[in-house]
Amino acid sequence: MKKEPTKQEYQEYVEQVTPKNNCFLNCCKAFLIGGLICTLGEVIKQYAMHTGGMKEENALTVVTLCLVLLSILLTGFNLFGKIADFAGAGTLVPITGFANSVASPAIEYQKEGQVFGIGVKIFTIAGPVILYGVFSSWLIGLGYWLLKTVGLLG
C-alpha cells in the first residue's frame, strides 16, 4: 500500500512541477505579438484604402476578414498554438483569438463527421461568448430604449 504524502512533501512536489513564470517577460511578449497583429491590421487597412480606393469603413471590414482568415489558416497548419504559447494573451485578445477558438474544435473533431464532429463541437469555446455577448447587447439595448422612452436620454 502506497503511503500518502505529507502536506510538506506535497507542497515541495507542487513547487517542483509548477512552471516558473516571469510576469514582466510574459507581458512584454504579449504586448509585442499583440502589437504586431494590430500593426498588420493597420497595414492591411492602409493598403486597402490607398491601393484599393476603399473608404475606411470598408477597409476595416477587409482587415477583420483578413485577420480571421490568417488566424484560421495558422490554426489549420498548427502554428497558431505555437505563437500563442510564446505570446500568451497577445494572440488571444484581438479577433484572431476568437477565430482560433472557433476553428480549433472544428479542426480537432472533423474526423467524427460534419454533423456530430464539426457541427456539435465548433462552438464549444466560442458559443458562450456569442451567447452572452448577444444577450448583454439585448439587455443594454432594452435599457437604452426604456431610458429614451421615459425621457431620461435625449
Report pLDDT digits (tens) over 42-54.
Answer: 999 999 999 989 9
- Phi and psi for 12 in degrees, rounded to 5? -65, -40
Q: Write down the pLDDT at residue 138.
A: 94
46-59 burial, b if ≥16 CB within 10 A, otherwise e?
eebbeeeebeeeeb
Q: Write down the pLDDT at residue 42.
A: 96
AA letter at 39: T
pTM of the model: 0.66
Q: Write down the pLDDT at residue 103.
A: 80
Q: Write down the pLDDT at residue 3.
A: 79
Q: How many Cβ atoms sit within 10 Å of the Cβ of residue 43? A: 12
Per-residue pLDDT of the chain (154 residues; tens, 9 = 90+): 677 888 888 888 888 888 888 899 999 999 999 999 999 999 999 999 999 899 999 999 999 999 999 998 998 898 998 999 999 888 877 788 878 877 877 777 777 777 777 677 777 767 777 788 889 999 999 999 999 999 888 7
Q: What's the Cα-to-Cα distance from 76 to each of 21, 37, 103, 115, 154, rounded to whole Å?
A: 28, 18, 8, 19, 49
